[in-house]
Amino acid sequence: MDDISDTASDDQKDTEYVSNSGTIKFKGNEDEWRTWKGKTIATAMQHRFYQALFMQESLATMEEVNAGTASKSTRKAFLRNVQAYAHLALCCEKTAYSYVENAVTERAPMGDAYEAWKKLCESINENVEEWFLELEYWNTRMGKIKQSYMRDDLQMKAHIIDQLPEAYEAVKVKLSGAYTTTPMETFKRIILDFWKRHNVLSPTETSSQWKFAEEERLMQDKYNTKEEEEAKMSEEPEPHKDKGFNEMTGNPDPREDILQEYHDVPISKNRNGWNAMEKPSIQDRKGLGGLIKRNSVPTRVGNRKSFKWKQAIFDIMVNLGIALGFIYWHAMKDLDKFRKLLGVHCMAVNNEIGQYIGVKTTEYEKEFIRDHELEIWEEAKIFSIPGYHEEFHKGNEGQSVSKKQSSLLIGKIVFLVSKWITDCMTALRELSTLLDTVKWKMKSSNREDVKFGSQVGHVRQNATCHTKRFEKERALISS
């Protein structure tokens, strides 16, 4: 058919289709929408009024057309709008006809075909994937007519963004700045995922109602989530074998009496409406090892037994480190003062032993002590301990003392061990004196008594040897 001309006969030719052709009825059912929409677009392309459906043209008024004062372009647009609106009105019935009937605007008071078509499209919850397939179909069909008619991916993406309904405003904002660099498949996938998540328009919703419906859905989801959280908090937790905290579910320890012993924090709602635990005091935090956090359920790693063992081992290591550190620091601070204190301590211990027991040694005992002392020094030379015997006495004889830090630390530890041995020798000397007194008071003198007396003498003799050895060290220190 030729294009619309300025003559009345041409106008009559163009409008003959409306009265003579049959129409496909559409009642607003979603199942019929895709077929009816495709055939309506095909009819509009065949009879050249498709521009009235997809473009908001400038229209001439009825008075201008009747008076013949309208321009050629506005008069043609007016006739295309009349054809398109008449076709939609004849095809639609029931619910679908209501959208066409209410499509009245200021530019087309008798009926706006562009507005009617827009409302019909928005009234159907169209599957986006089918829309993409249809779009590709028409693009391919245009390319078969002529290759230059086919649109590339960039043009297709621009058309998709422009034609998306208002409900996809968030997707429009997201894709507008990156649609030139986003691949076509990714571009479609983003829109399709949004449609699947939100199910944007139900069959009874229009675009003007979408915001209110979406807010209602969000409020309902939030309310359902709150109910689920409250039900979960009210449920009693299942007993666990280790009676610990369940880190996967976040449920507290079922031993509520033990937890209540440390703190008394009520479960309440915070300003966001979620069930949470209020911030406990500093004492409550210390009571549970500082493991309670604000607005969270208290958790603990492992059971109570393993936690106590770890804490005990940690305390022992800390105390031992502090003691060794103090010894090392004291030795390095003033080595000369340390040597003097060591000598004074040995002297004080030996004086207390001598005054308390009052031992009187004979010449035989002195000779035995000297021989025993030589044995001790020979063994010390074979297995010498750094920082105690030879090096220590050389330093007191006026020679320079240059020791490594490890030698000083070992020397200190050896000194503490020697102090412990001295205390043990004191107890042995007290025991030997007591047994000696008992032996002389015994009236019988059988073999058992002789054996007992020899054992007492041996113990006493060894104790005297150790005492004399420390007296010799005292003399070397004081010299």
Instruction: Write out residues in the chain with pLDDT < 70, as ranges.
Output: 1-22, 125-127, 198-308, 326-479
Q: pLDDT by residue (tens digit) across 433-446?
A: 665 655 555 544 44
Q: Identify the bridge partners of residue 269 per DSSP, sorted by sequence position.
A: 275
In 3D space, the residue among 120, 107, 100 whose CA is nearest the CA of residue 57 turns out to be 107
Q: pLDDT by residue (tens digit) across 10-63?
A: 454 444 444 444 678 888 887 788 889 889 999 998 888 988 988 888 888 888
The pLDDT of residue 151 is 86
In 3D space, the residue among 405, 417, 422 whose CA is nearest the CA of residue 474 turns out to be 422
Query: What is the rounded distance in angstroms from the CA atom of residue 388 to the CA atom of residue 417?
Result: 11
Q: Identify the bridge partners of residue 112 per DSSP, sorted by sequence position.
A: none
Residue 195: which residues within 8 A CB-CB, separation 6 or more?
127, 128
Q: Are strands 275-277 and 267-269 parallel, antiparallel or unpaired?
A: antiparallel
Query: What is the rounded distance in angstroms from the CA atom of residue 473 to the CA atom of residue 479?
Result: 10
In 3D space, the residue among 102, 109, 118, 45 whose CA is nearest the CA of residue 82 turns out to be 109
Q: Which amino acid is at 323?
A: A
The pLDDT of residue 435 is 58
The pLDDT of residue 474 is 54
Q: Which amino acid is at 22?
A: G
pTM for the model stands at 0.31
Q: What is the DSSP letter of 238?
A: P
The pLDDT of residue 85 is 92
Q: Which amino acid is at 143?
A: G
What six digits make up the tokens of 190? 């983003």
